[in-house]
Chain A
Amino acid sequence: MAKIEFINVGHSYDLSAKNPVYALEPFSLSWGNGGRYALLGPSGCGKTTMLNIMSGLVTPSEGNVFFNDQNITSVKTEQRNIAQVFQFPVIYNTMSVYDNLAFPLKCRNYNESQIRTKVNEVAEILNLSSFLDMWAKGLTADQKQLISLGRGLVREDVAAILMDEPLTVIDPDLKFKLRRKLKEINSKYKTTLIYVTHDQNEAMTFAENIIVMDSGKIVQSGAPQELFERPSTSFVAYFIGTPAMNIYRCSIDNNELVLGRCKLKIDKNLDQIKSEQLKVGIRSEFIELSDKPQENSILVKIKTNEDFGNYILLTCEFDDFEIKVKIKRDQSISSETPYLILPKSRLCLYENEKLIN
Chain B
Amino acid sequence: MVYQQFINYPHLNVFDNIAFPLKQRKMKTSDIENEVSVAIHKVGLLGFEKRKIQELSGGQQQRVALARSLVKKAKILLLDEPLVNLDYKLREDLRNEFKNIITSDLSANSILLYASTDPLEAMQLNGDIIVLDEGKILQNGTAKDVFENPTNIKVSEITNDPAMNILKGSIDSNKIILNENVQFKIPKHVKNIQAGTYHFGIRASDMILDDKGFDFNIDIAEISGSETFLHLHQNVLNIVLLIEEVRNFNENDKVKINFNLEKLYVFDGKGDLLFSPFKMN
Listed in ascending order, the chain A residues whose CB lies under 8 Å from chain B are 42, 176, 179-180, 183-184, 187, 198-201, 204-205, 223-225, 227-229, 238-239, 241-243, 283-286, 306-311, 326, 328-330
Are A309 and B88 closer than 8 Å at their CB atoms? no
Partner among B92, B144, B222, B251 whose Cβ is within 8 Å of the Cβ of A307: B144
CB contacts between A and B, total, < 8 Å: 98
Are A309 and B120 closer than 8 Å at their CB atoms? yes
Bound Cα distance from A239 to B227, whole angstroms: 14
Residues of B within 8 A of A309 (CB): 119-120, 123, 147, 159-161, 205
**B87, B204, B222: which has the most chain A beta carbons within 10 Å?**
B222
Q: Mark B235-266, 1 if CB is under 8 A from A, else 0.
A: 00000001011111001000000000001000
Contacts A176-B222, A284-B226 supplied; 14 other A-B pairs, CB < 8 Å: A187-B251, A199-B87, A200-B225, A205-B221, A224-B223, A224-B248, A225-B248, A241-B225, A283-B226, A306-B126, A309-B160, A310-B203, A328-B244, A330-B263
Known: A200-B89, A205-B220, A285-B226. A310 touches B245 (CB 8 A): no
Bound Cα distance from A176 to B161, whole angstroms: 14
Bound Cα distance from A308 to B96, whole angstroms: 12
Known: A42-B87, A228-B245, A310-B204. A204 touches B124 (CB 8 A): no
Chain A: CB-nearest residue to B222: A205
Bound Cα distance from A153 to B152, whole angstroms: 45
Are B88 and A204 closer than 8 Å at their CB atoms? no
B157 within 8 A of A: no
B166 within 8 A of A: no
B143 within 8 A of A: yes
Bound Cα distance from A285 to B203, whole angstroms: 19
Chain B: CB-nearest residue to A204: B223
Known: A242-B92, A310-B242, A326-B244. A228 touches B226 (CB 8 A): yes
Bound Cα distance from A179 to B244, whole angstroms: 21
B224 within 8 A of A: yes
B80 within 8 A of A: no
B97 within 8 A of A: no
Are A200 and B246 closer than 8 Å at their CB atoms? no
Chain B min CB distance to A6 (Å): 25
Chain A min CB distance to B195 (Å): 30
Chain B min CB distance to A223 (Å): 6
Bound Cα distance from A184 to B161, whole angstroms: 25
Are A285 and B244 closer than 8 Å at their CB atoms? yes
Listed in ascending order, the chain B residues whose CB lies under 8 Å from chain A are 87-89, 92, 119-120, 123-124, 126, 143-144, 147, 159-161, 203-205, 219-227, 242, 244-248, 251, 263
17 CB-based A-B contacts, threshold 8 Å: A42-B87, A179-B220, A201-B222, A201-B224, A201-B225, A205-B220, A223-B248, A227-B246, A239-B89, A242-B225, A284-B226, A285-B244, A306-B123, A307-B126, A307-B147, A309-B119, A330-B263
Chain B: CB-nearest residue to A239: B89
Residues of A within 8 A of B224 (CB): 201, 204-205, 242
Bound Cα distance from A228 to B219, whole angstroms: 22
Chain A: CB-nearest residue to B225: A242
Bound Cα distance from A41 to B214, whole angstroms: 39
Main secondary structure of the interface of B (DSSP, over half): mixed
Residues of B within 8 A of A225 (CB): 246-248
Are A308 and B123 closer than 8 Å at their CB atoms? yes
Residues of A within 8 A of B251 (CB): 180, 183-184, 187
Are A310 and B248 closer than 8 Å at their CB atoms? no
Bound Cα distance from A284 to B246, whole angstroms: 12
Bound Cα distance from A199 to B89, whole angstroms: 9
Are A311 and B220 closer than 8 Å at their CB atoms? no
Top 7 closest pairs, chain A to chain B, by CB: A242-B225, A204-B223, A228-B246, A241-B226, A310-B205, A205-B222, A201-B224
**A184, A242, A283, A310: which has the most chain B beta carbons within 10 Å?**
A310
Are B245 and A285 closer than 8 Å at their CB atoms? yes
Chain B min CB distance to A243 (Å): 7
Bound Cα distance from A243 to B92, whole angstroms: 8
Chain A: CB-nearest residue to B242: A310
Bound Cα distance from A187 to B252, whole angstroms: 11
Partner among A199, A227, A229, A307 whose Cβ is within 8 Å of the Cβ of B88: A199
Chain B: CB-nearest residue to A43: B87
**B144, B219, B248: which has the most chain A beta carbons within 10 Å?**
B248
Are A229 and B246 closer than 8 Å at their CB atoms? yes
Are A204 and B92 closer than 8 Å at their CB atoms? no
Residues of A within 8 A of B120 (CB): 308-309
Chain B min CB distance to A213 (Å): 14
Bound Cα distance from A29 to B193, whole angstroms: 62
Are B220 and A180 closer than 8 Å at their CB atoms? yes
Residues of A within 8 A of B119 (CB): 309
Bound Cα distance from A243 to B95, whole angstroms: 11
Residues of B within 8 A of A238 (CB): 89
Chain A min CB distance to B126 (Å): 7
